[in-house]
Structure 1
C-alpha cells in the first residue's frame, strides 16, 4: 500500500465513520420521534372521537328522553315511536344508531336492515371478536367503548370502528353508535410519510456534506502530494544534473591525466625500448623481445588514447559538437563495421558546454545500444539547428523495439532523458516505419546568442 493511499485512508475513513454514526443516530432518533408523534396524534384523535360519540349519544337520549320516561299511549307504542326516531337519526355519512335487546336480537339498524329481527349474539367480525355480546357487556357496565371491524356503508368495505353502547335498563335495550377510525390510519400514514421524507432529506444532506468533505480532503491531499512530488522531482533533477556535472568533470580530469601523463610516460618508455631495439643488432633474442615490447606499448598507448577519448573527447572541447559527432561516427564504423552517416550543423555558442556534452553522451549511448541490441547494418545521425531549437535524430535499420512497446524502459534511456530534460529538452523513442528505432531530441537554443550572431 502506497503512502498516498495510507494518507487517504487515515483522512477519509474517520470522516466516513463519523458520518455513518451521525446518520445512524439521526435515523434512530427520527424513527423514535415518528413513533412518539404518531402515537400522540392517534390518542388525540381517538379522544376527540370518544367525546364526539358521547355527544351523539347524549343527543339521541335527549330526543327520546320524554317518550322513554312517560311512555305515552303505553309501552309498546312508546317503544315503536323510539324505534322510528332512532331509525331516522343519522349523522355524517356513516353515523347511525342501533338497538339490540339483551339477548342479542337487533330491533333498530338503519344501514343494515337485514339484521333487524335476527339474533346476533354469536356474531364475530373478521378478527374473531364477538361484537354484539361485547357491546352489551360494555352497556351493562354503565356504558363503554368497544373497538371492532364493521361494514362501512359509504364505501362498502370493512373498516375499524369505535363503538359506544349504553343500557336502557327500563326496556332491557342496548343503545349504541360509533365512528369509523380508518381516517386515523390515513392521518397517521400521512404523518409518517412526512417524517420519512424529512429523514431522507436529512440523510441526503449528511451524505452530500460527507461527499463534499471527502472530495475536498482528497483534493487537498492530492494537491499536497502533487506539490511534494513536483518539489521532489525538481530536487532530483538538480541532483541528477549535479551528478552529471561532477561525472563529466571527473571524466575530463581522468581523460586529461591519461592523455597528458600516462600517455606521455608510455611514449617515453617506447622511445627507450625503441633505442634498445636499434642497439640490439648483435643479439637477435634481445631484439625480438624489444620488438615484442614495442608492439605491446603501441597497443597500450592506443588503448589509453581510446579510453581518454571515450571519457572526454578533446574534439568536443576543441572543435565543437558537430565535429565530435563526426569523429564518433567514424570511430564507431571502424570498430563495429556498421555504416554510420553523420549530417551535423554547427551550433557555435548557442548551446552551453553542458548541453553539448549531454547531446554527445546521448548519441554515444545510442551507438552502444545499436552495437549490443539492434543488429543493424546502417545508422544515421543528423543534427539540424533552427532559429529557436535544434533537433538531433539517431536512426538505425535494425530489429526495432519490441511489440507492444514496453511501459518502462531501461536505465540507459532514463539517463538519456534526464540529461536532456536538465537543459529543457525533450527526448522521444519510437519505431521507424521502414523498421528499426528512432531517437529524437529537441532542445532549445540560447536566443541571446542567436541575436548576437
Structure 2
C-alpha cells in the first residue's frame, strides 16, 4: 500500500473509532435517560392513581358511614350497605368490592359468580395469592396493592392497582381498583419514542461518520490527484530541463569543436601541406619548410589542449586520478583565470570516503555555482569556497559578496532558475540537501551529502 493511502487510512480509522466511542456513549446515556424517564413517569402515574383510589375508597366509606356507625346493627343494615356500594362505580371498569377477613367474597358488582366463594387461596397467573395480599394490606391500616385481575370490559387478565381499607366493626375489607393497562400503553409509547429517538441519533452519528470518512477520502484523493499533477508537471519540467541541458551541452560541444579544434586542425592541415609543397620545390627552402612544420606542431599542441579542456568539462579526470581536493583547487584556479576574481579555497576535515557519484555531484554543483557567480554576481569582488567533512556528512559552501538576487522569484520562474533546479536534482540523487541564501550583501550556496547514504 502506498504511503499516501496509509496516511488517509490512518486518518479515517481514528475518526471512525472516535465516532464509534461517541455512539456507544450516546447509546448508553440515551438508554439510561429513557429508563429514568420511564421510571419517573411510572411513579408519577402510580402516585396519581393511588391518590385517586384513596379518594374513591374514602367516598365509599362515606357513602355507608351512617349505616356503619348506626347503633342498630343487623344483617339488614349490612345488606343495605352492600347495595349502596354495588351501585357506586366510575367508568366501565371502576367498582367497589367486599371481602371478609377469611377471604370470602361478599360483594362484586361485575363478577357476581364470585359472591359467596372462598377466594383465600386464589392465585394470579404469576402464582401470587391475590386476596391474601389485599386482606394483609387492609389489616396493616389500608393502602395500595398491585396485582393481576380479569378486566370486565375485555375479559382479559390485566395489571391492576387496588386500594383497600378494613371495616373492622363488620370484619370487612372494602376495596376498589384501577386497571393499569392504559398506564402500560402510555409507558410503551414512551419506550417506543425513546427507541426511535435513539435510532435516529445513531443514524445521524453514523451518517456524519460516513460523510466525514468520505470527505477525508475524497480530500485525500483530490490531494493525491493534485500532487500527481504537480509531480507530473515537475517531471515534465525536469525532462524539458534535461533535454535543454543536453541540447545546450551539445551546442557548446559543437561550438568548441567547430570554432576551436576544427579550425586548428584545418590550419594544421594547411601548414603541413605548405611544408610538404615547399619540400617538393627544386630549390628547397628548408628553413621555410621547417617554419611551416613548427607552426603546425604549435597548433597541434593547442588542439590537444582544447581536447583536454573539453574532456575536462565533460568529465573531470582529476576526480578519478587525484581526488576531490585537487579537483577543487584546479577548478578555483581556472575560475580565477577566467573571471579575474580572487578565490579563497578552504578544505577542512575529512572529505574522503564519498562515492564517485557524490564527488561528481559536489564538483558539478561547484562548477554551476561559480558559473552563476561569473554571469550574474554583479559587483562581486571576492569568492569563498569551503569544503569540509565530519563523521556524518560532507559540506560545501560557496559564497560571494555580489548584489544578490531574489531566490523565491528565480526558483518559481519557468525560464530561470534552471541552475538551482539542476543543483537540487543532483543532490537529491545522492540524498543530499541544498540551501541558497541571497541578499544585498551577497549569495551563499550550501550543499550537504550524508556519509551514511554512501
Partner of 2:108: 109
Distance 1:221 1:140 in 2: 78
Q: CA deviation at 1:86?
A: 1.4
**Corresponding position of 1:142:** 141
The DSSP-based 3-state class of the residue aligned with 1:176 is: strand
**1:422 alignment partner in structure 2:** none
Report the CA distance between 1:257 and its aligned residue. 10
Residue 45 in structure 1 maps to residue 52 in structure 2: no
SS of 2:10 mapped into structure 1:
helix
Distance between the aligned counterparts of 2:98 and 2:135, measured in 1?
10
Q: Is the 8 A contact 1:161 1:181 kept in 2?
A: yes
SS of alignment partner, residue 129 of structure 1: coil
Report the Cα offset of residue 172 of structure 1.
1.0
Compute the TM-score of the two structures, normalised by the length of structure 2: 0.54
Counterpart of 1:7 in structure 2 is 7
State how 1:349-368 maps to structure 2 within 5 Å.
none
**How far has the Cα of 1:247 moved from its partner?**
4.5
* Residues in 1 aligned to 2:132 and 2:52: alpha-carbon distance in whole angstroms: 23
Shift of 1:10: 2.4
Identify the residue that residue 178 of structure 1 maps to in structure 2.
177
**Partner of 1:75 in structure 2?**
74
> Aligned partners of 2:71 and 2:176: how far apart in 1?
23
Q: Is the 8 A contact 1:71 1:77 kept in 2?
A: no
Matches within 5 A, 1:251-400: none
Q: Please say if residues 71 and 78 of structure 1, whose CA atoms lie closer than 8 Å, have aligned partners that are also in contact.
A: no
Deviation at 1:117, TM superposition (A): 1.1
Question: Once the 2 structures are TM-superposed, how far is the Cα of residue 248 of structure 1 from its aligned partner?
Answer: 5.4
Residue 229 of structure 2 is matched in structure 1 by: 230
Q: Does the alignment pair 1:84 with 2:83?
A: yes
Q: Which residue of 2 aligns with 1:34?
A: 34
Give 1:255 shift: 9.2
5+ residue gaps, structure 2, are 270-454
| Whole-Å separation in 2 of the counterparts to 1:256 and 1:4 | 48
Task: Give runs of aligned pairs for residues 6-25 of structure 1, distance below 5 A.
Answer: 6-25=6-25
Aligned mates of 2:132, 2:25 — CA distance in 1 = 48
Note the C-alpha offset of 1:241: 2.6
| Cα shift readout 1:382-435 (whole Å, capped 9, x = no counterpart) | xxxxxxxxxxxxxxxxxxxxxxxxxxxxxxxxxxxxxxxxxxxxxxxxxxxxxx
Superposed CA offset, 1:240-271 (max 9, x none): 2333444456678889999998xx99xx9xxx
**Are residue 188 (structure 1) and residue 187 (structure 2) matched?**
yes
By how many angstroms is 1:211 displaced? 2.8
In 2: Cα distance, 1:101 partner to 1:191 partner: 40
Which range is displaced more, 251-260 or 116-125? 251-260
- 2:116 counterpart SS class: coil
Over the aligned positions, Cα root-mean-square deviation in angstroms equals: 2.9
CA contact (8 A) 1:87 1:97 kept: yes
| Uncovered stretches (5+) of structure 1, i.e. residues with no partner | 269-453
Q: Which residue is equivalent to 1:158?
A: 157
Alignment-derived partner of residue 197 in structure 1: 196
Residue-by-residue CA offset, 1:93-129 (whole Å, 9 max, x unaligned) = 2011111111211110011111011111111011111
2:200 and 2:42 map into 1 onto residues whose CA distance is 25
Q: Which residue of 1 aligns with 2:329?
A: none
Deviation sequence 1:199-234 (CA, Å, 0-9, x none): 222222222332332233223222222222111111
Q: Which residue of 2 aligns with 1:241?
A: 240
Q: Distance in 1 between matches of 2:216 and 2:114?
A: 75
Note the alpha carbon deviations across 1:5-58, whole angstroms, 9 max, x for none: 112112222221221122211111111111111101100100011101100000
3-state SS of paired residue (1:218): helix
Write the distance in 2 (CA, Å) between the matches of 1:212 and 1:203: 14
Instruction: Tell which deviates more after alignment, 246-255 or 142-151.
Output: 246-255
CA drift at 1:168: 1.1
Say whether 1:56 aligns with 2:43: no
Three-state SS of the structure 2 residue aligned to 1:151 is: strand
Write the deviation string for residues 342-381 of structure 1: whole angstroms up to 9, x where unpaired.
xxxxxxxxxxxxxxxxxxxxxxxxxxxxxxxxxxxxxxxx
3-state DSSP class of the match of 1:161?
strand
SS of match in other structure, 2:89: coil
SS class of match (1:111): coil
Equivalent residue of 1:240, what SS? helix
Q: Equivalent residue for 1:384?
A: none
Per the alignment, residue 286 of structure 1 pairs with none
TM superposition shift of 1:174: 1.1
CA distance in 1, matches of 2:143, 2:241: 102
Question: Quick check: 131-140 or 42-51, which moved more?
Answer: 131-140
